[in-house]
Structure 1
Amino acid sequence: MRWIIKLDEGLARLSNLCGWVACVAMILMAANVFYDVVSRYAFNEVSIGMQEMEWHLYSVVFMLGVPYAMRTDGHVRVDVLYTKWTNKTKAWVNLIGALIFVIPFAYLIGIFGYDYTLDSYNLGESSGDPGGLSHRWIIKSVIPITAFFIAVAGLNMVTFALRVMSGEKSYEVEHSGGGLA
């Protein structure tokens, strides 16, 4: 059982890393929007590249926020039923859900996202707008990267569920603002 604890904690660290990257991207996006608004309204300057960078950063925030939300149990589900269940029932639901839905779904996203990114790279895809960003494959590569981290978070759901089933952990939310106990 000790190896499951080590694996669970290592997987949790990877998901927390995703949350950290998403947080940094959110701060950069806010700074980018601030710069864009000031340059537009104070100096009457518009940068297509900076506007495109906004949605690139938003993509990183959203996509890398998903594995973190899965780790901290912040994702959407039918909580009306879930909150009334015992920890063992929750663990079984999360275990089965991760094995049947999350990990296979992440695999499909990874396969198709990789091809999508590779096509973009091979075509030398860039923005269609003058002054836009080149190397569009860079932002598209976030798709298969996110798929990997979603699979990691799914595996983390499995290891955490096993720890809950053993009685070592619970699904009670900590009072410090979220997360798993």
Structure 2
Amino acid sequence: MQWIIKLDDGLARLSYLCGWVACVAMLLMAGNVFYDVVARYAFNEVSIGMQEMEWHLYSIVFLLGIPYALRTDGHVRVDVFYTRWSNKAKAWINLTGALLFVVPFAYLIGIYGYDFALDSYSMGEGSGDPGGLPHRWLIKSVIPVTAFFIAIAGLNMATFALRVMSGEKQYEGENSGGGLA
């Protein structure tokens, strides 16, 4: 059982790293939007590259926020039922959901996202707008990277569920429904 604890803690650290990167990207995006607004309204200057950087950063926030949300139990589910169940029932649901849905879905995202990014790289895809950002494959490559971290978060859901089943951990929150302890 000791190996599950170490594996669970290691997988959790990777998901928290994704959350940290998403947080930094959010702060950078806020600064970018602030710059765009000031430049536009105070100096009548517009930068297509900076505007495109906003959606690039938003993509990073969204994509790398997913593994973090899975780890911290912040994802969407039917909590009206889930909150009433015992920790063991929740663990079985999370274990089943992680292994049957999250990990296979991450695999599909990874396969298709890799081809998507590779095609973009092969074409030398850049912005279609003058003054836009070159190398669009860089942001598209975040998709398969995120798929890897989503799979890691799914495995982390499974290892945490095993720890709950063993009685070592429990789900926290009101009626122990939501959040991880």
> What TM-score comes out, normalization by structure 1 length?
0.97
Unaligned runs of 5+ in 1: none
CA distance in 2, matches of 1:179, 1:170: 9
CA distance in 2, matches of 1:13, 1:119: 32
State the AA in 2 paired with 1:52: E
For residues 45-89 of structure 1, the C-alpha deviation after alignment (integer angstroms, 9 at most, x for no partner) is 000000000000000000100000000000000000000000000
Unaligned runs of 5+ in 2: none
Aligned-residue offset at 1:179: 4.2
Residue 49 of structure 1 aligns to a residue whose secondary structure is helix
Are 1:117 and 2:117 matched, yes or no? Answer: yes
CA distance in 1, matches of 2:129, 2:24: 27
Task: Percent identity, please.
Answer: 83
State the AA in 2 paired with 1:153: A
How many matched pairs?
178
For residues 154-179 of structure 1, the C-alpha deviation after alignment (integer angstroms, 9 at most, x for no partner) is 000000000000000001139xxx84
Residue 135 of structure 2 aligns to a residue whose secondary structure is coil
For residues 114-171 of structure 1, the C-alpha deviation after alignment (integer angstroms, 9 at most, x for no partner) is 0000000000000000000000000000100000000000000000000000000001
Aligned partner of 2:52 in structure 1 is 52
What CA RMSD, in Å, does the superposition of the two structures yield over aligned residues? 1.0
CA distance in 1, matches of 2:179, 2:79: 15
State the AA in 1 paired with 2:127: S
> What TM-score comes out, normalization by structure 2 length?
0.97
State the AA in 2 paired with 1:134: P
State the AA in 1 paired with 2:75: H
